[in-house]
């Protein structure tokens, strides 16, 4: 779960229509040439030039909900932690007690600072008793690597950043298990991870449906990408990745949390295992005790319109928050978004979309 920037708050104003790109040199995944050859529309995301869409966001979104879509998510990080105390070390660094993960299990959790604020959301994979893999977001991989390195000395463990040499493909949708079986002869259960030579396949994703993520050495990515497309998977870009995750209320690093919110504020107490010691725990306990903080909630519009990140949210005539994510849900046909609010589900709100107040309600994601 997670990742993707709201890429893409590209406001194509005056006679725009142009995708804006940064002036600095951008990173490319091992599939970049394939994407260009396939005519993908590219976008800058966290320093990477990535496909925003191939045929179109709506068609790609629907393919993932009804069949199978394939995403290049090679921009995401891969940090390996090894050694006798690898699991103890990561348990100290994460909101979940990763020492309790059995080999072959994965877990979504958060990495916090001492004040309990989310530095990033990650998936931890326990590959063996003495080896774990942490997958942070693209924009935060270097920061998380440095954060881990700053704390690892007290443990008998080593850290290796293999992000540059590995690629990751996300095969998502109800047909994903069949394509994985037909294409690679593999099967994987949700939140399990399996090693097959140099290939890692896990029952994880960021779309809220069935599917898997496949981590491979960079050189193996292009043939795997083409083989899965040849089986019928639809190539998908970051645009659909964003609408898919938002429908299911999954957080976007850098947008739905930006370094100043705790997991309690992000409505993610479920990622916290209070029974273990971790960095940020004391601050979280104090916050839980004190209460009185706004929490991340869903907002669903009842009037037509497209809410965007940054739109103001009103309740009873007062401005009460700001959307951290927002889009038109391709599955539901309604505007949906997330905002930190001191309101309960069912409360009536209005979202200001380009000067107009559109009525909606606070809801608990997933949106339906």
Q: Which residues bind other proteins (CB under 8 A)?
A: 7-18, 41, 52-53, 56-59, 239, 243, 304-306, 308, 327-328, 330, 354
Residue 272 CB, shortest distance to other proteins, in Å, is 33
Residue 327 CB, shortest distance to other proteins, in Å, is 6
Decide whether 86 or 350 has the Cβ nearer to other proteins: 350
Residue 243 CB, shortest distance to other proteins, in Å, is 6
Decide whether 136 or 237 has the Cβ nearer to other proteins: 237
Q: How far apart are CA 179 and CA 237, in angstroms?
A: 19
Buried b (16+ CB within 10 A) or exposed e, 51-76: bbbbbebeebbbbbbebbbbbbbbbb
Decide whether 122 or 353 has the Cβ nearer to other proteins: 353
Residue 46 CB, shortest distance to other proteins, in Å, is 16
Residue 250 CB, shortest distance to other proteins, in Å, is 17
Instruction: Describe the chain by its helix, strand, coil percentages, rounded to 5.
Output: 25, 35, 45
Decide whether 14 or 292 has the Cβ nearer to other proteins: 14
Q: Which DSSP state fits 136?
A: -
Decide whether 43 or 320 has the Cβ nearer to other proteins: 43
Decide whether 13 or 292 has the Cβ nearer to other proteins: 13
The alpha carbon of 293 is separated from its chain's Cα centroid by a whole number of angstroms, namely 24
Between the alpha carbon of residue 165 and those of residues 137, 219, 297, 307, the distances in Å are: 16, 9, 38, 38
Residue 205 CB, shortest distance to other proteins, in Å, is 20
Residue 225 CB, shortest distance to other proteins, in Å, is 22
Decide whether 95 or 324 has the Cβ nearer to other proteins: 324
Decide whether 136 or 305 has the Cβ nearer to other proteins: 305
Concatenating the DSSP letter of every residue in 97-128 gives -GGGPPTTBEEEEEEE-TT--EEEEEEEEEEE
Residue 310 CB, shortest distance to other proteins, in Å, is 12
Q: How far apart are CA 259 and CA 277, in angstroms?
A: 21
Cis preceding-peptide flag for 366 (omega within 30 of 0): yes
Concatenating the DSSP letter of every residue in 25-55 gives --B--TTHHHHHHTTPEEEEETTEEEEEESS
The alpha carbon of 215 is separated from its chain's Cα centroid by a whole number of angstroms, namely 16
Asked if residue 226 lies in contact with residue 47, where contact means CB atoms within 8 angstroms, the answer is no
Between the alpha carbon of residue 320 and those of residues 116, 138, 184, 323, 354, the distances in Å are: 24, 31, 50, 10, 17
Decide whether 15 or 260 has the Cβ nearer to other proteins: 15
Q: How far apart are CA 210 and CA 208, in angstroms?
A: 7
Q: How far apart are CA 45 and CA 251, in angstroms?
A: 16
Residue 126 CB, shortest distance to other proteins, in Å, is 37
Q: What are phi and psi of 170, to 5 degrees?
A: -110, 115
Decide whether 20 or 344 has the Cβ nearer to other proteins: 20
Between the alpha carbon of residue 239 and those of residues 5, 232, 236, 323, 329, the distances in Å are: 9, 20, 8, 18, 12
Is the dihedral angle over the CA atoms 241, 120, 22, 162 positive or is it negative? negative
Q: How far apart are CA 308 and CA 137, in angstroms?
A: 22
Residue 355 CB, shortest distance to other proteins, in Å, is 10
């Amino acid at each position: 779960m997670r990742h993707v920037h709201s890429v893409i708050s590209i406001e194509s104003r005056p006679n725009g229509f142009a995708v804006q790109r940064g002036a600095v040199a951008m990173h490319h995944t091992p599939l970049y040439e394939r994407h260009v050859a396939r005519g993908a529309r590219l976008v800058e995301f966290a320093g990477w030039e990535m496909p925003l869409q191939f045929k179109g966001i709506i068609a790609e979104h629907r393919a993932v909900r009804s069949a199978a879509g394939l995403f290049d998510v090679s921009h995401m990080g891969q940090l390996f932690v090894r050694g006798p105390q690898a699991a103890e070390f990561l348990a100290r660094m994460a909101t979940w007690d990763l020492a309790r993960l059995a080999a072959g299990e994965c877990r979504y959790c958060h990495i916090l600072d001492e004040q309990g604020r989310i530095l990033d959301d990650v998936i931890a994979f326990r590959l063996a008793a003495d080896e774990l893999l942490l997958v942070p977001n693209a924009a935060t991989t270097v920061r998380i690597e440095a954060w881990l390195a700053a704390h690892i000395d007290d443990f008998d463990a080593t850290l290796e950043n293999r992000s540059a040499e590995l690629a990751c493909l996300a095969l998502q949708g109800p047909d994903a298990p069949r394509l994985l079986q037909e294409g690679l002869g593999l099967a994987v259960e949700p939140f399990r991870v399996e090693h097959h030579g140099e290939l890692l396949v896990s029952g994880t994703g960021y779309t809220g449906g069935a599917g898997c993520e496949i981590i491979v050495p960079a050189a193996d990515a292009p043939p795997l990408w083409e083989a899965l497309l040849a089986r019928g998977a639809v190539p998908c870009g970051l645009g659909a990745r964003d609408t898919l995750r938002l429908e299911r209320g999954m957080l976007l690093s850098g947008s739905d949390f930006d370094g100043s919110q705790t997991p309690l504020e992000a409505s993610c107490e479920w990622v916290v295992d209070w029974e273990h010691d971790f960095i940020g725990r004391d601050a979280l306990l104090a916050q839980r005790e004190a209460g009185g903080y706004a929490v991340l909630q869903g907002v669903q519009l009842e009037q037509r319109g497209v809410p965007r990140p940054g739109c103001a949210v009103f309740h009873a005539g007062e401005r009460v928050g700001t959307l951290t994510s927002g889009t038109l849900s391709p599955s539901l046909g309604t505007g949906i978004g997330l905002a930190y609010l001191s309101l309960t589900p069912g409360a009536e709100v209005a979202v200001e979309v380009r000067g107009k107040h559109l009525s909606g309600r606070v809801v608990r994601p997933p949106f339906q």
